[in-house]
Structure 1
Amino acid sequence: MATLIRPPPIDHSQSNIENVLELTQLSDIDPDLFTNTRPLWHPPGARGIFGGAAIAQTLAAAQKTITPDFTVHSMHCYFVLAGNADIPIIYHVERVRSGKSFATRTVQARQRGNVIFTTTMSFVRQNSGGDKKVEHAYPMPTVPDPEQGLDDLDVNPDGKSPFQSQRLPIENDDSPHPHTKKCRQWMKARGTISSAGSHEAHLSAIAYMSDSYFVGTIARAHKLWRYSTSRRSSADEDVLKQLLAMDDAQLKRMRFVDEADIARIRRLRNGEKDPDEREIGMMVSLDHTIYFHNPRGFRADDWIFTEMETPWSGDGRGLVFQRMFTKDGRLIATCVQEGVVRLRQPENQPGPKL
């Protein structure tokens, strides 16, 4: 059973992402309890549900306990256990503090009594900073605009991904130093977010999208191969078969395929040995932080530019920074994520388990 209560019909007055992230309040039990209204997506080959769903739905739940004059400015999340797409999630909001200028909420996501995800958020009262302010912002780089009518292949194999994206070539991809590379993409929610959703729906939407290929920046910066015929995941094997069947033009339209991947696919087609045999054995998120800078100054259904870079990796972990900008160059969020990044070990030397 993927939901606690039978889902209502799709609300066509709302965007896809609003329907995906819809919550049901369990007010008969506790006004601070919520559950996912609709089934959640389990990406092929992943350990559990898409992490962005837990991030976004905990934010949506917390926003329902905040007065309209307060807006989220930061959230700090931990992925504790892999979420099971076949089991409903219960979100419990704890009202830690409600002050004059700031309010704090903690949300735990549970399945079968176990915490799978936890976050603490801080909300700030609108215009509480005064008329005189200290202001500056990291500038958006000059990049090509998103192409009208061009959408990278869908992240969700059933064609119902709630957002679309266009990846750009990796900046400094030929550098021998992974920390100097920048992974960039345009993305936006599909359709039009309803006026009834207000700014909360746009905030939940970018929280959802912020987890798109985030920790994967490390693999891309190191040009690590992410699909292996020796791996036990049938999802990896299926993806690899599809990639091998594509020509170079088709491969370049795949948003998760880089030039290094295309070169490897060519070698595999020709039966050549890969000079770099390093492969990802495990890559999962540990934590996720979002700082919202202009939380009411953007639309998530307009194009948003994101830039990701990794300052460090080691000891089986890696760190990634992400900046999110509106199309006209305003910085709207800064995100940080640490994740497990382990290479596939020889069969006689298995890597440690989580």
Structure 2
Amino acid sequence: MSPVSDALAVKPAFEDRNDIFTNVNPLWRPDGMKAVFGGALMSQALNAALQTVGPSWSVQSMHCQFTSAANIDSPVFYHVHGMDSKKTFLVCNVSARQQERLIITATLRFTRSSYSVGTGLQHATPKPKIYLGPDPKHYRSGEGTAKGLCEFKTAPDPSCDPQSPAGNRFRRLVRLRSRIPHPAGTRDHVVALAAVTDTYCLGTPGRAHGLSLLRPSEASGEAEAQWKVRQMGTLSHSIHFLNPQAVCLNEWMLEETWCPWAGDERGLVMLHLWSQDGVLLAVCTQEVCDPLPST
């Protein structure tokens, strides 16, 4: 297993139960933060569900609600329940608890890996062209990124205008820092993808208004301290896995986020994620608790 797969691994919590799982290794948190990284919790919830449904099922969607922040001092227990299996699809729920406190709930939908839906309508948003500059810099921490998980290259859009925040789009190339030693589309890649989708969304409402999560002296992206993000949090996060068989976290993927609405100390964030060769891998929505000032 890779270091990332180790960090996201779960195991049965009890020998006589196959529906309750717990984290194998210490929970992952960003540097300087007391709370556990929410993307890691989503990945572990997905991992628990995948171990329950068996190898013939492939995940289609995952809808999460965050209710409390988890801490690193106690294990999290993932209860898989509400299994409803049909011929071609399966739905289940996962509730994650820490010291009897509910921290996240997830509803997941799976389809049989061998099931073909035939020749229906087909289209996908194409991968946008980006400009990285003559010497793009690799970052290993920064706005919204859990240090140690990803590395990325920013792709700034000169047309971004803080006066028109709803129209601003933010792009970057992203991949895991450590390789997953398995082929594209295998479960380790899909589980890690869930965590990656949570590394860039949180700061998007502020970013759309020209605000940084980092102190001015740390705006290079190398900073470990993520000071303003401590005031923020994820309320809900949904992932639609469009082409899980093409997911490869070892290659550079393109992320694009934007915030079509913000108000009442909340922000709605959209995310598209493409593979290196242009396959649309996932579409996500995230609702953010965002008490940052507008100026």
Report the TM-score, using the length of structure 1 for normalisation. 0.74
Identity %: 32
In 1, Cα distance between equivalents of 2:185 and 2:212: 41
In 2, Cα distance between equivalents of 1:197 and 1:325: 14
Root-mean-square deviation (Å): 2.9
2:172 aligns with 185
1:297 aligns with 246
Q: For the Cα contact (< 8 Å) 2:140–2:148, is it kept in 1?
A: no
Is residue 2:91 matched to residue 1:104? yes
In 2, Cα distance between equivalents of 1:304 and 1:226: 23
Runs (5+) with no aligned partner, structure 2:
none
- Greater shift after overlay, 303-312 or 26-35? 26-35
Q: For the Cα contact (< 8 Å) 2:260–2:268, is it kept in 1?
A: yes
In 2, Cα distance between equivalents of 1:172 and 1:50: 32
2:29 aligns with 42
- Greater shift after overlay, 121-130 or 95-104? 121-130
Is residue 2:13 matched to residue 1:26? yes
Is residue 2:200 matched to residue 1:213? yes
1:11 aligns with none
In 2, Cα distance between equivalents of 1:144 and 1:298: 23
1:351 aligns with none
Match of 1:313 among 258, 262, 277: 262
Q: For the Cα contact (< 8 Å) 1:167–1:186, is it kept in 2?
A: yes
Q: For the Cα contact (< 8 Å) 1:15–1:190, is it kept in 2?
A: no
- Greater shift after overlay, 143-152 or 214-223? 143-152
Is residue 2:233 matched to residue 1:284? yes
**CA distance 1:47–1:177, change in 2 (3 Å):** farther
2:210 aligns with 223
Q: For the Cα contact (< 8 Å) 1:218–1:320, is it kept in 2?
A: yes
2:273 aligns with 324
2:46 aligns with 59
Q: For the Cα contact (< 8 Å) 2:140–2:150, is it kept in 1?
A: no
Write out aligned runs for 1:221-300 (5 A).
221-224=208-211, 226=213, 240=215, 244=217, 251-252=219-220, 254=222, 282-300=231-249
Q: What SS class does the counterpart of residue 274 from structure 2 fall into?
A: strand
Q: What SS class does the counterpart of residue 244 from structure 2 fall into?
A: coil
Match of 2:282 among 323, 328, 333: 333
Q: For the Cα contact (< 8 Å) 1:307–1:322, is it kept in 2?
A: yes
Q: Which AA in structure 2 matches 1:137?
A: A
Q: CA deviation at 1:316?
A: 1.2
In 2, Cα distance between equivalents of 1:38 and 1:191: 17
Q: For the Cα contact (< 8 Å) 1:33–1:90, is it kept in 2?
A: yes
- Greater shift after overlay, 308-317 or 161-170? 161-170
In 2, Cα distance between equivalents of 1:149 and 1:122: 38
How many residue pairs align between the two structures? Answer: 290
**CA distance 1:323–1:166, change in 2 (3 Å):** same
In 2, Cα distance between equivalents of 1:253 and 1:316: 25
Q: For the Cα contact (< 8 Å) 1:47–1:82, is it kept in 2?
A: no
In 2, Cα distance between equivalents of 1:218 and 1:283: 11
Match of 1:342 among 285, 291, 295: 291
In 2, Cα distance between equivalents of 1:195 and 1:161: 20
Q: CA deviation at 1:68?
A: 2.0
In 1, Cα distance between equivalents of 2:66 and 2:21: 19
Match of 1:174 among 161, 167, 180: 161
Q: CA deviation at 1:192?
A: 2.3
Q: For the Cα contact (< 8 Å) 2:66–2:104, is it kept in 1?
A: yes
